[in-house]
Amino acid sequence: MTSEIKPKRRVLVVDDETAILRFVNAGLEIAGYQPTSTTDCDEALNIARSGKADIMLLDIFMAPITGFDVLTKLRDFSDLPVIVFTARDDVGEFAKEAGADDYLGKPFKPGELAEKIEEVMARRSARTA
């Protein structure tokens, strides 16, 4: 009997608050993901462009570049799945209209984040199957 070892999903986390990055990264690691994080939007786009991420978690309210700016630039060259996280549900719906796959309201529990990642990845797999 052979057990299939699934590779860890590579999750790119983009937020301008390092405390949030630490929290999210810790939760992702515990849940079995391989997180990479940055506060720099250009670096995030470069990581996405390099193919070193399976999904992006993106904060909307960042400065000087917003998550919407990152999402718009990302969609110019990639269909990388994106989950935005925000404290405002109305912004989350707008982000989906702007090209995000889904959103997660803040605050959230690490388990909720893992569930959302798997939902988005399953929807993506179903569309490409």
pLDDT along the chain (129 residues), means of 10: 66 94 93 95 96 96 90 95 86 88 88 93 81
**Do 80 and 44 form a contact (C-beta atoms < 8 A)?**
no
Q: What is the pLDDT of residue 121?
A: 94
**Adjacent-strand bridge partners of 13:** 37, 57
Q: What is the pTM of this model?
A: 0.90
**Adjacent-strand bridge partners of 55:** 11
CA-CA-CA-CA torsion sign (88, 93, 97, 101):
positive
Q: With b meaning 16 or more CB within 10 Å and e meaning fewer, what string describes 93-110? A: ebbeebebbbbbeeeeee
Rounded CA separation 36/75 (Å)? 20
Q: Is 33 exposed, middle or buried (0-12, 13-18, 19+ CB in 10 A)?
A: buried
Q: What is the pLDDT of residue 4?
A: 55
Q: What is the pLDDT of residue 113?
A: 92
